[in-house]
Chains A and B, each alone.
Chain A
Amino acid sequence: MTEFASLFHGFAVVLTPFNLMLMMVGIVLGVLIGVLPGLGGANGVAILLPLTFSMPPTSAIILLSCIYWGALFGGAITSVLFNIPGEPWSVATTFDGYPMAQQGRAGEALTAAFTSSFIGAFFAVLMITFLAPLVARFALQFGPPEFFSVYLLTFCSFVGMGKGSPMKILASMMLGFALAAVGMDTVTGQLRLTFGLPDLMRGFDFLIAVIGLFGIGEILLSMEEGLKFSGSSARINTRIVLETWKKLPKYWMTSIRSTLIGCWMGITPGGATPASFMSYGMAKKMSPRGANFGKGEIEGVVAPETAAHAAGTSALLPMLALGIPGSPTAAVLLGGLLIWGLQPGPLLFVEKPDFVWGLIASMYLGNVAGLIIVLTSVPLFASILRVPFAIIAPIIIAICAIGAYTVHSAMLDIWFMLGFGVVGYVFKKLDYPLAPLVLAVVLGDRAEDSFRQSMLLSQGDLTILWSNWLVGSITTLALLLLAWPFIGRGLQMVKAVALRAESRASTTHDQRG
């Protein structure tokens, strides 16, 4: 039970007035970011990251992770009240949340959404508390081949579990790797793909990519839809909250299932968005009131919100324990670690226990604080959405530009940001996924280093990736996932053939009978 001792130590780290204030500021900013179109968890954190350069790392991560929790909560507000998902993972929340709001049950829907978000996050944090140290301890024995195989697993699972075309996932991911390769090669010191431009020597910073792809790209998309905000008003008072809370225990099965889906999808880089859809779909199939889904069923709000929040939170587990983020926002936080001079990876638990346990403790407190803040201040945040787009859009673009500039104090980066924005817009419309691109830009150099170190160890022999049972099974699993779209199609074909054969057999049988 050393975890308990460490956790209490973590609480002691967090419970200073300065850190508690940062926590509150982070949550409020996060909800604001989640509510505003064009600003989301990933690029919101990316824009604010440069502001934390001078803070102590523990305070900085508390601020940024609380922005993340806030953004997770904030997405639900716009989904329920305006039928506009503020974040991609709250799309599934609109299915039942908005009909409930139209029926005048907005308060109930929001209470259900916030409470289930909280429950999902809470169990994910519990899991992180007990599982992350184990994983980290286990990973201490990892050498370069093991790390490379875990990277391989991360990237292959995008292809295996992604919804879209596997070739597009691959193309988008490899584009990320190519962008990561630009600049000085860390091993030989040679310049790669800079085309003689001195500005490219530093390479592309993924923060610029995140701000452009998610921020500017999202603004262009929302503009195209010609946003008209027409929302219902929300009144949440203690009576509605208590009444909703009385109803929620009925859906304990849905909550448990959604939490499990969320945690699984968060640790593997499936992410919060597919988790929320999967959980909604499962709930619809298994619920006795499944036919009512989409017409304002409270269970249809509970399922996606629980899963999204559980996934969003547990995405931090591989980031903390292995240094491999499970979502774009976790990737941005990882970038923060590097900037604050911390080396992410399993050693972090040993070398910086204050930081790690402070962060985990702040997850508990941040989510409690978040729940209280959103329950009490929904009308305030909803009123922000009534500000016309012609005012919001230029302000957000200006904020993105400032964020892009402050990363390296380079004016050229603002041009790159705009370029990434156009790429983000086009990619989004053509169903090229953006998450693998961002993760590849972040992890590209480190994946390459572990690959090259493995190749050095083995003198260029690829079988080192199967040299012991551990690395061998991870590599095999990764390759299986990579081939999954093709295996899946093969299985379907086999099934179809079998079905045809069966029906033929049964018809001949019938004829005989």
Chain B
Amino acid sequence: MNTDTADEQDESGIATWIVEVFVALCLFVLGAVVAYNSWKLGAGWRDDGPGAGYFPFYIGLLICTASAIVGVRGMRSGSRVDKVFVTHSQLRLVLTVLLPSLAFVAAVQVVGIYVGSLLFIAGFMVWVGKYHWAKSVAIAFAVMAIAFLMFEVWFKVPLFKGALDPLRFLGY
């Protein structure tokens, strides 16, 4: 019984055609926005040549056309071809990377790249990889030490250090 339900869970997921139509719709809206904005900027011919919106206007129109065709095709094939875009278990795996990455990018904006990356690598190893925290911190620290040497010391490319700036004592 248990394996059956597990299998069913694996099989089910978000249908490909829904994602297909959704993406096409997003592209269509984007194309429309591009075309509208370019129109406002001046998509026509000016005294001194083509206006700033001349080229992007047609780009916007082409995005709309292409995405409309893709979208309509997707809807037609629709439920007849029920391919799965991503199963629930796959989605869970993807989210175990994506959600921490989101948190990482948000954190980095405040605490800086060094501290943020250190926390992210160590945290990911403990949470997803189930490693011992000491080992995780050690590896994360080693990676960031290499990054520090490479960027700040050898190539003189300063990274964002954020509010904490723990490396101030080194003079960087």
| A: interface residue count bin | 35 or more
Return A388 CB to nearest CB of chain B, in Å: 6
Q: Which residue of A lies closest to B45 (CB)?
A: A460
A448 adjacent to B55 (CB under 8 Å): yes
Contact B30 A397 (CB under 8 A): no
- Quick one: CB contact mask for B95-127 with A, threshold 8 Å, 1 for yes? 011101110110011000100010011001100
- Collect the chain B residues with CB atoms within 8 Å of residue A190's CB: 41, 52
Interface size class on chain B is: 35 or more
Check if A178 sits within 8 Å of B37, measured CB to CB.
Answer: no
Q: Quick one: which of B16, B37, B52, B151 has the most chain A CB within 10 A? A: B52
Q: Which residues of A contact B70 (CB under 8 A)?
A: 165, 167-168, 171
A51 sits at the interface (CB 8 A): yes
Residue of A nearest to B85 (CB): A429
CB pair B50 A393 closer than 8 Å = no
Contacts of A456 in B (CB 8 A): 49-50
Q: Hey, which chain A residues are within 8 Å of B113, CB to CB?
A: 401-402, 405
| Bound form: Cα–Cα A405–B94 in Å | 24
Within 8 A of B (CB), among A414-444: 414-415, 418, 421-422, 425-427, 429-430, 432
Closest chain B CB from A294 CB (angstroms):
25
Complex CA gap A475/B38 in Å reads 26
Give Cα distance in the complex from A226 to B109, angstroms.
Answer: 30
Q: Any chain B CB within 8 A of the CB of A490?
A: no
Do residues A394 and B50 form an inter-chain contact, with CB atoms below 8 A?
A: no
Q: Given A165-B70, A192-B37 in contact, is the A406-B157 Cβ separation under 8 Å? A: yes
Given A185-B52, A192-B41: A388 touches B94 (CB 8 Å cut-off): no
Extra 6 A-B pairs, beta carbons < 8 Å, given A223-B94, A390-B128, A401-B104: A168-B70, A175-B63, A178-B31, A402-B147, A418-B102, A427-B23
Q: List 19 A-B contacts (CB under 8 A).
A: A51-B151, A167-B69, A167-B73, A181-B34, A181-B55, A220-B94, A220-B97, A220-B98, A223-B96, A224-B90, A226-B90, A394-B121, A394-B124, A397-B104, A406-B159, A451-B55, A452-B54, A452-B55, A455-B50
- Chain B residues with CB under 8 Å of chain A are 16, 19-20, 23-24, 27, 30-31, 33-34, 37-38, 41, 45, 49-56, 59-60, 62-63, 66-67, 69-70, 73, 85-86, 90, 93-94, 96-98, 100-102, 104-105, 108-109, 113, 117, 120-121, 124-125, 128-131, 139, 143, 147, 150-151, 155-160
